[in-house]
Amino acid sequence: MDYTEDILKYLSTRSQFADVRYMNSTTRSYSYRNGQFDGQNRSDGSGYAVRCVNNSIAMSFFNDSNFPSMKSKLENLIYNSRKDGKHKIDISGGIKTSWNELGKKKVADTPDSCKIEFIKDMDRIMGESGASVRFTNIMDTNVNESYANSSGSSISGEYSRIYFSYMAGISDSGSFEESSEEYGSTSGYEFIDSLNFAELIGNDIRTLKASIHGGKVAPGKYDLVVGPSISGIVAHESAGHPMEYDRIIGREAAQAGGSFIGAGREEQRVGSMYVNVIDDPSIKGSFGYYAYDDEGIKSGKRYLYRNGFADTYIHNRESAAIAGQKANGGGRSSDWDMEPLARMSTTYIEPGEQSPEELIESVKHGIYMKNFTEWNIDDTRFYEKYVGKEAYLIENGKITSMVRRPVLETTTVNFYSSVDGSANDLTFHAGLCGKGDPEQGVPVWMGGPHIRLRNVYMK
């Protein structure tokens, strides 16, 4: 039985604004390791996330099965919301709709045996390609969600997500290299059919093996061409995160940190005129896809950086009200018992017109870093590091010898200011983005084309 209306009615005369989200999710996960089945897990979660706003904002998470037992929790919620604190929130409402994205090959219709057979097959391919350490995992999630608020919104959504990841380690000549990759989609299992994983994984491991014999980069200035997985992680880490407005106002300062971009600094220059970075939750099939966010706000495309300048912040209801703006569909919770935070979904560098080959042709002395292993960034999202996984020297416009673990350690503004060209091959990679306390990992895509940077320091 759904108690959303009862909860809202109870809070209507006791709050300035209230909303109720009910979520029911099932996640199934299967793993293989080094040629053998490594276990299966299932997680079922369901419950109410109730938010009450008076002198401050309070949330309560419970899954009682009858309304009378909820009342003491609602009373406690109201009591806490009357304490002093921040209480600005975008109270927009009036939306009544529903949406779903379950794909064609629905999770419910896909036998467990198919999923297990798939990861077993991927493990075999990894082994045949030379990986001695092998982990594979496939996971699917089905979510039913309803949202209602005291401003008249009532929205329901249903979706499924598919996630596949692997880690491979190779030992050769006394050295070790490893690779981890993630793939995901908001869809059914047709996503797994849409990619040639056997070829992707086989190629990844064979180049990993070759990279062990690559030379070291002589430290110095190079032109650098990076592949889509690097432009994607850069878009996520140093455009998406610093444009989350809750970070900018310090809401995450004691955990994920702040932002080098300040409040009211939309006109701040962050890079060259070639830099456009977008966050768009409405891309169908993307891992972070949603039609309406977890606060009942319609999703849509936003330019985070436009022509090298900071442009549009990512907002949830709370951060938007503090900024004096409207929520723009960035309110996401990783599970039923988590508060909605200002989050990314699909963040990408806008592609250009050239081919990747054309970008490389104009490089006399450079490095092509196709993808990465280790990476991290400081909590203001300004100082970042990416270590190359598959990388080569470029000499006179041609890709030549392989180099091992080249390091780009730079700043966000240096990176984006050095960009002078983007290719036309926009590609997305999946990931789980962490933020909040308790930490919430939400599914995202990170994307971009090959891009070229001039005169950056590599080591």
Q: Which of 299, 328, 410, 418 binds another protein (CB under 8 A)?
A: 410
- Give the binding range for another protein (CB under 8 A) out of 98-106, 143-151, 172-180, 326-334: 172-180
> Does 46 sit near another protein (CB under 8 A)?
yes
- CA proximity to 243, closest of 272, 229, 223, 263: 263
> Does 442 sit near another protein (CB under 8 A)?
no
> Does 178 sit near another protein (CB under 8 A)?
yes
Q: Which of 12, 40, 100, 455 binds another protein (CB under 8 A)?
A: 40
Pick 43 or 203: Cβ nearer another protein: 43
Q: Give helix 112-128 / helix 197-211 axis angle, nearest 10°.
A: 30
* Minimum separation from the CB atom of position 91 to another protein (A): 16
* Span 130-159, contacts to another protein by CB under 8 A: 132-133, 135
- Give the binding range for another protein (CB under 8 A) out of 6-14, 224-232, 246-254, 446-454: 246-254
> Does 409 sit near another protein (CB under 8 A)?
yes
**Residue with token string 């560098």:** 349
* Minimum separation from the CB atom of position 148 to another protein (A): 20
In the sheet with 220-226, reading across from the earlier edge strand, the strands are 398-403, 391-395, 365-369, 220-226, 451-458, 419-422
> Does 68 sit near another protein (CB under 8 A)?
no
* Span 97-126, contacts to another protein by CB under 8 A: 111-113, 116
- Give the binding range for another protein (CB under 8 A) out of 56-64, 224-232, 275-283, 309-317: 56-64
* Minimum separation from the CB atom of position 320 to another protein (A): 15
* Minimum separation from the CB atom of position 186 to another protein (A): 23
* Span 367-406, contacts to another protein by CB under 8 A: 373-379, 382-385, 387, 405
* Minimum separation from the CB atom of position 253 to another protein (A): 4
Task: Evaluate whether 158 touches 145 at the Cβ level (below 8 Å).
Answer: yes
Pick 250 or 264: Cβ nearer another protein: 250
Count of residues near another protein by CB under 8 A: 79
Q: Which of 4, 14, 71, 73 binds another protein (CB under 8 A)?
A: 73
Pick 38 or 182: Cβ nearer another protein: 38
Q: Report how far apart, in Å, the C-alpha atoms of 25 and of each of 141, 332, 334 are.
A: 7, 15, 11
Pick 209 or 405: Cβ nearer another protein: 405
Task: Evaluate whether 144 touches 5 at the Cβ level (below 8 Å).
Answer: no
- Give the binding range for another protein (CB under 8 A) out of 194-202, 393-401, 433-441, 445-453: 433-441
* Span 339-368, contacts to another protein by CB under 8 A: 339
Copy the structure tokens of residue 305: 């950086």
Q: Which of 4, 272, 411, 424 binds another protein (CB under 8 A)?
A: 411
* Span 1-30, contacts to another protein by CB under 8 A: none
